């Protein structure tokens, strides 16, 4: 795993907001659920109490993971990025040479990846295969269905 995780300001702000929510509201809700379950009697046979404690453990694990991501986070100024080749935060128009279909994706950090929004991680097979490519170059990308060739048609910042 890399030393740093590069993020946009928007992605970093979302992460900070979610972490703050989990630390305040999430922890308060978990504590309330445990207190409510505790009031229901004998803890040795109380499945609701066990479930509430498990949920609290999962919440703390998620908070810990998010704090680790934030510790490695580096916010990049997208206006200073070079679009002569594919780098993190560039939007790339590709042509799948096998099916002759065009597609457009933005390369982002792992935490910001969202396929519905056409944002793919730079650590995904497609992301790794595209990094450093220039317009007109062909990227051979290993997928579960074999190698697929993509031609880089355009690189831009959105």
Give the tens place of pLDDT for each residue, 48-68.
Answer: 888 889 999 999 999 999 999
CATH at residue 115? 3.10.50.30
59 and 92 in a single domain? The answer is no
Helix (H) or strand (E) holding 127: helix 125-130
**Lateral strand order in the sheet of 119-121:** 119-121, 101-108, 91-96, 146-156, 138-143
pLDDT band, residue 136 (cuts 50/70/90):
very high
Residue 141 structural domain = 78-156
83 and 150 in a single domain? The answer is yes
pLDDT digits (tens, 9 = 90+) for 103-127: 999 999 888 899 999 999 988 999 9
101 and 145 in a single domain? The answer is yes
- The structural domain count of the chain equals 2
pLDDT band, residue 1 (cuts 50/70/90):
very low
110 and 147 in a single domain? The answer is yes
Q: What is the mean pLDDT of the chain?
A: 88
Q: Which of 75, 98, 128 is the last residue of a domain?
A: 75
52 and 87 in a single domain? The answer is no
35 and 63 in a single domain? The answer is yes
90 and 124 in a single domain? The answer is yes
What tokens appear for 137 in the block? Answer: 């170059």
- Entry pTM: 0.68
Closest CA to 123 of 4, 13, 9: 4
Q: What is the largest CA-CA distance in the chain?
A: 69
CATH at residue 50? 1.10.287.180
Q: State the Cα–Cα distance between residues 73 and 23, nearest whole angstrom.
A: 19
**Residue 103 pLDDT:** 94
Q: Which of 75, 110, 128 is the last residue of a domain?
A: 75
Q: Which of 58, 75, 92 is the last residue of a domain?
A: 75
Pairing of strands 146-156, 138-143: antiparallel
């Amino acid at each position: 795993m890399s030393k740093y995780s590069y993020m946009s300001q928007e992605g970093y702000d979302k992460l900070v907001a979610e972490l703050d929510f989990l630390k305040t509201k999430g922890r308060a809700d978990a504590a309330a659920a445990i207190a409510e379950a505790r009031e229901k009697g004998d803890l040795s046979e109380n499945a609701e109490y066990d479930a509430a404690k498990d949920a609290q453990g999962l919440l703390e694990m998620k908070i810990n993971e998010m704090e680790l991501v934030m510790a490695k986070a580096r916010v990049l100024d997208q206006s200073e990025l070079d679009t002569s080749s594919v780098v993190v935060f560039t939007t790339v128009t590709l042509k799948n040479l096998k099916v002759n279909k065009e597609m457009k994706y933005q390369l982002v950090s792992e935490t910001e990846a969202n396929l519905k929004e056409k944002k793919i991680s730079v650590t995904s097979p497609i992301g790794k295969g595209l990094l450093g490519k220039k317009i007109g170059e062909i990227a051979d990308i290993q997928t579960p269905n074999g190698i697929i060739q993509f031609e880089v048609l355009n690189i831009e910042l959105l």
